[in-house]
Amino acid sequence: MRKFIFATVLASSALGLAACSGASDDAAATDESATAEAETETVEATAATGVIDARTATAENLAGVEGISDELAAAIVAGQPYSDVTAFNAVLMEALSEEQAAAVRERVFVPVNLNEATEEQIRLIPGMTEKMVHEFEEYRPYEDMAEFNREIGKYVDEAEVARFRNYVTL
């Protein structure tokens, strides 16, 4: 996701500079190529993690996600930026049942800040159990993700820690 944000900022800057400098059509073509490249990186990053950040998702990013209709994709985009996962979940709950919303949250999510999240926000992390809610809260504040990996890794295997990392941030 950081690569996507960096690439988007870089592409936007390049477009702005090209527009201000009266750049040639070749430069504009290069900028369009950079933008397309940034979009490709987003798709690749999503494929790698399988989780789309609802704060920055486009309708195109959401197309094809099981459980998201065109209308729901438009509602998700219209609700941006989300302050937290509960705000995002409220949009989902207007159109979906709890079970359907839970399935969507597995693929589209607003990362939870480990040090600031409420219990309600932590509970929205896919696959969260009562025990894990307690463990997530017990080790706060987390200094870095390595500490999260180490402490949560006491309770679940490495693959599950990696899966949880798709839904959390510091």
Q: Is 36 helix (H, G, I), strand (E, B) or coil?
A: helix
Domain 51-110 has CATH 1.10.150: yes
Task: For 125-149, write each residue's pLDDT tens digit.
Answer: 999 999 999 999 999 999 999 999 9
Phi, psi of 69 (to 5 degrees): -80, 170
> What is the value of pTM for the model shown?
0.71
Buried b (16+ CB within 10 A) or exposed e, 129-168: eeebeebbeebeebeeeeebeebbeeebeeeebebbbbbb
User: Do residues 140 and 116 lie in contact, with contact meaning Cβ atoms separated by under 8 Å?
Assistant: no
59-74 per-position pLDDT tens digit: 999 998 999 999 999 9
What fold does the segment set 111-170 form as a domain? Answer: DNA polymerase; domain 1 (1.10.150)
DSSP code at position 168:
E
Alpha carbons within 13 angstroms on the beta-carbon side of residue 106 total 10
